[in-house]
Structure 1
């Protein structure tokens, strides 16, 4: 029996022209440093391959991803430009990414040895970037371990198995421009570069700045900046950066169509736990999008959606499949079933932004856009980049 066709419950619409424009703006802003557009985690929820193509059109010479799988997905899609990945684990087969000309990050001497082995097998040097842990205490070599990593890279380079193409680190507090950790980490990074000079190892491209630092800390731009969330028009430093003034625009719009509209009486409890009770008679709309589709449950009673040309509040608990939105007490407040509810979108349209939702939920815009999705949703792409 054929499946019954149906409209998607939730649409995640991505404007690729906006992604390209954001990249072009960032490229101009950070010059003479080069621009790396980070497209990890499925392009922060915008589509890995589509976001990558839009970023290239916007002028990004480099792309960045976390895992080898993401890197190979881009190569399989035809991207052959400079590309860095930085999150490997023991047992990963790195030969394919090395053969594909992907720059792979080494955190320690063990990883240098694995990459050197792949380079030796291929008969040409593996492209390797070294990461220093300057104070984030995440990936990379600490100052105590850094000399061993540099020495291993020198040996592999001298053997002809490795080419060091870059040296980098990551800031913990770039979204807080005045945080003392920023200066401290940059000092540690400079010290790491000095160790490389002592060993006679060219650092290649030096990069430290993420989106927030690229915009707010010009002295941290070095040769290259890595812009992730700013590429998609979400604020990397709320409160410290004026997104609208920068010209960056949110590329993602999430929308759903109203399933039901009804009037409830004063005193009616709404959704699980009756965490909101109608103080008077009012109209409500049922919107078929919930935490199973990426709407944060922390949005209970604090989120807004754009519906019928106005912001309307979410009332009661966010459910797995749906939310209830209050329309208002008057007949004129109601909308019809099938009306479009915009959950997040471009601020210029009047829609709530990912940053607004993040502030309401006590999280960051990164999480809002990246978590949107699921098999019940459909992601559509618009703009010049929708072709192959």
Structure 2
């Protein structure tokens, strides 16, 4: 779906003196270095109190994807998650758990998965932020106050999946447009908003609020409540390939924010400062293009619908997409947040082994939680007990 993070001290512990898996080589300078230390479910603070069955719909969506893969397909970079075949039995067991039976769900995980404490070299603490699914006002046609276009994917946009040539760069893309035989950078946000692609990109809808639209672009996917009362859901169809520059950083550098740098405070300042806000927002060169999403929720990078408060965006260079993870952190209200989630999404700002972005759902309540989420925490990766030796990421 995403994304860029909007943002607890952990109480859990790991087995002392346990062996540490040999991590893959760093993928880039400063990218981090994954270490996995075996632990036990009894060592996970709050494990027996979590409503574990609530994660099963998200797990089943990921299982449906994984079990359609070739049996020898590696799961995760460097095969850290074993092969697709290793997931068949755990996924089958998950499908047999009765709805709402939290005890049976915990027993299933304990029977079929092994927990591994995630560290960046020897650092177990990391950052947890949040994101949500925005809803903005819109119209199918340009009329009245609806003058800001929501562009679909341009006809001249060229995207090259670098992972086909560099398996060590999962999800990385080269984006631009062709000039002769040369791929050149695609226009930046300011150029697009000035009309640079009007003849190349369809308009899927028009909105009356450039601030809320900019926030939707930060989050990725979103919903548009049309002036006829209907609602359409939009998913990310591509981007212009430019590096993301957060509006919070822009406002902070300009001295526009006080001590409150949360997304709700940023939105309030932008809406109160009209033309000045539009100029500052245009400094973020990244632009997202949209297409209609007919699914029952926003789609994450894994290609499955996200589940509120149970889906997590991670760095796929370290955490395999589709794997269960135990998160221990605190929510924006200072309450312990300890629960099972599914690694189902990624984000441009989600980098490193111990880094997570929690999907809070849709609406203002989700926006408030996501916009203020910025907590320290830890991550435990659950992998099938019967796990094949590591293989190349793309056999």
TM (normalized to structure 1)? 0.25
Answer 1 or 2: higher relative contact order, Cα 8 Å, separation at least 6: 2
Instruction: Look at both structures and tell me which one has the larger radius of gyration over its CA atoms.
Output: 1
TM (normalized to structure 2)? 0.25
